[in-house]
Amino acid sequence: MKSVLTNQTRKRAVNLTLNEELVSQAKEMTNNLSGIVEQLLADYVQKQNKTRQEKLQTANEVSQAWNHFNEQCGSFADEHSTL
């Protein structure tokens, strides 16, 4: 996935607790560990946002279907209402 962030975005230092051996191995593979972690984090955030949007869309579709059903058939509770 392509990052939605640019290199001109303001950056700040953060503390992470990571597996020491894993960090050592990663440093042997790249000289820009921060860039790799940032890209992975950006991909994760983008994926989570997409998942949330899909769930919201599904909930809206279910709500519309239920409202349509209710308009056509009425509520099941209407038969038992004491009002």
Q: Classify residue 5: in a domain, yes or no.
A: no
- Smallest CA-to-CA distance from 18 within 34, 39, 2 is with 34
- Whether residue 54 lies inside any domain: the answer is yes
In terms of residue numbers, what domain contains 62?
44-73
Query: Binning pLDDT at 50, 70 and 90, where does residue 9 land?
Result: confident
pLDDT tens-place string over residues 13-38: 999 999 999 999 999 999 999 999 99
Residue 53 placed within a domain: yes
* Sequence-ordered list of residues with C-beta below 8 angstroms from that of 36, at least 6 positions apart, any chain: 26, 30
Residue 17 lies in a domain: no
Q: Does the residue 58 lie in any domain?
A: yes
Residue 4 lies in a domain: no
Q: How far apart are the first and last CA of the chain?
A: 56
Residue 9 lies in a domain: no
For residue 59, what are its two tokens?
């909930």
The whole-model pTM stands at 0.71
In a domain, 65, yes or no: yes
pLDDT (0 to 100) of residue 1:
47
User: Total domain count for the chain?
Assistant: 1
